């Protein structure tokens, strides 16, 4: 399956983004190696009552690389926060997948006045020592060897072993995006991803806005247990585990995902009304 690259807007600070719909804003942040189109199966649902901004993460798609070669997670979040402050100018619901969920959670923790809800999809929390060693080795290999195959292994981790039908179409799209991903942006982001192991417990406990953690039951690197533990720390946290799904749940299981996100958006709106 081939998906035509859509026309972007480009902000002064180098963030490229797609914009759909009208209403209060939702910001979508994809994972490492992908691009804004990774949210293709959520747009119709989310734009029913909202303006949806799907960004290319810095160094991905048409977004510029961050200036510092050794940027950390805060740098990615600061760049996106500056874009929100200049382009959107009102509090947002943040939704992120994989590394995008790290960005969404960090944003909500550090920019409380700018965030009214967070959906963290396939998010990492306290990897095992073996998983931590493996992800950091993959990041090191990417930096040292730019010609390394960065496609085959992720596709095997993210999708079922022999994807068929709709899942095969989504796997083919991801493969195209990974092949086209800017080498430096991909490697730098993966290094940041490998160095982060989820928010501090006290930071999650201080998140008073609604937060939902969603993952697939077959995603061992972003497991249901991880989502459950993070949700338990958040005062308004909840979690859901989608059956027969792996890492790319937003793409492979849109019906289940979109229903959960629609319910979550209503929860965010209820909390805002109660505070007025």
Q: What is the DSSP string of 248-259?
A: THHHH-HHHHHH
Quick check: 226 and 198 in contact, CB under 8 A?
yes
Quick check: 98 and 31 in contact, CB under 8 A?
yes
Question: Using CA atoms, how far apart are residues 213 and 233, in angstroms rounded to an integer?
Answer: 12
What global pTM score does this model have? 0.95
Q: Which residues are catalytic?
A: 98, 122, 247
Quick check: 54 and 1 in contact, CB under 8 A?
no
pLDDT for the residue 276: 36
Question: Using CA atoms, how far apart are residues 272 and 214, in angstroms rounded to an integer?
Answer: 22
pLDDT for the residue 275: 47
pLDDT, tens digit only, all 276 positions of the chain: 777 778 999 999 999 999 999 999 999 999 999 999 999 999 999 999 999 999 999 999 999 999 888 999 999 999 999 999 999 999 999 999 999 999 999 999 999 999 999 999 999 999 999 999 999 999 998 888 877 778 989 999 999 888 999 999 999 999 999 999 999 999 999 999 999 999 999 999 999 999 999 999 999 999 999 999 999 999 999 999 999 999 999 999 999 999 999 999 999 975 544 443
pLDDT for the residue 102: 98
pLDDT for the residue 271: 54
Distances (CA, A) of 261 to 97, 145, 160, 174: 13, 38, 23, 22
Domains of the chain, earliest start first: 9-275 (3.40.50.1820)
pLDDT for the residue 270: 59
Question: Using CA atoms, how far apart are residues 257 and 260, in angstroms rounded to an integer?
Answer: 5
Question: Using CA atoms, how far apart are residues 108 and 97, in angstroms rounded to an integer?
Answer: 15
Distances (CA, A) of 244 to 35, 117, 261: 24, 27, 18
Question: Using CA atoms, how far apart are residues 80 and 29, in angstroms rounded to an integer?
Answer: 10
Beta bridge partners of 239: 213
* C-alpha torsion sign, points 194, 200, 206, 211: positive
pLDDT for the residue 148: 75
Read off φ and ψ for residue 74, nearest 5 degrees.
-60, -35
Question: Using CA atoms, how far apart are residues 199 and 211, in angstroms rounded to an integer?
Answer: 13
275: exposed, middle or buried (Cβ count in 10 Å: 0-12, 13-18, 19+): exposed
């Amino acid at each position: 399956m081939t998906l035509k690259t859509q026309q972007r807007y480009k902000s002064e600070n180098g963030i490229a983004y797609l914009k759909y719909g009208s209403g209060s804003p939702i910001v979508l942040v994809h994972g490492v190696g992908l691009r804004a189109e990774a949210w293709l199966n959520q747009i119709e649902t989310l734009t029913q009552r909202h303006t949806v901004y799907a960004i290319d993460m810095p160094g991905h798609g048409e977004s510029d690389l961050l200036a510092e070669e050794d940027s950390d997670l805060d740098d990615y979040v600061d760049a996106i926060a500056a874009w929100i402050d200049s382009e959107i100018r009102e509090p947002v619901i943040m939704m992120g997948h994989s590394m995008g969920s790290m960005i969404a959670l960090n944003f909500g923790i550090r920019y409380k006045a700018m965030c009214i809800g967070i959906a963290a999809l396939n998010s990492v929390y306290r990897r095992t020592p073996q998983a931590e060693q493996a992800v950091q080795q993959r990041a090191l290999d990417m930096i040292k060897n730019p010609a390394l195959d960065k496609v085959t292994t992720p596709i095997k981790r993210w999708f079922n072993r022999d994807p068929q039908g709709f899942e095969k179409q989504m796997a083919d799209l991801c493969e195209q995006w990974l092949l086209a991903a800017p080498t430096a942006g991909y490697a730098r982001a993966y290094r940041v991803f490998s160095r982060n192991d989820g928010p501090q417990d006290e930071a999650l406990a201080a998140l008073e806005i609604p937060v939902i953690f969603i993952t697939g039951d077959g995603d061992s690197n972003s497991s249901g247990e991880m989502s459950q533990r993070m949700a338990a720390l958040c005062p308004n946290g909840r979690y859901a585990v989608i059956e027969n799904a792996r890492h790319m749940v937003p793409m492979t299981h849109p019906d289940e995902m979109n229903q959960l996100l629609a319910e979550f958006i209503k929860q965010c709106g209820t909390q805002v009304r109660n505070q007025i």
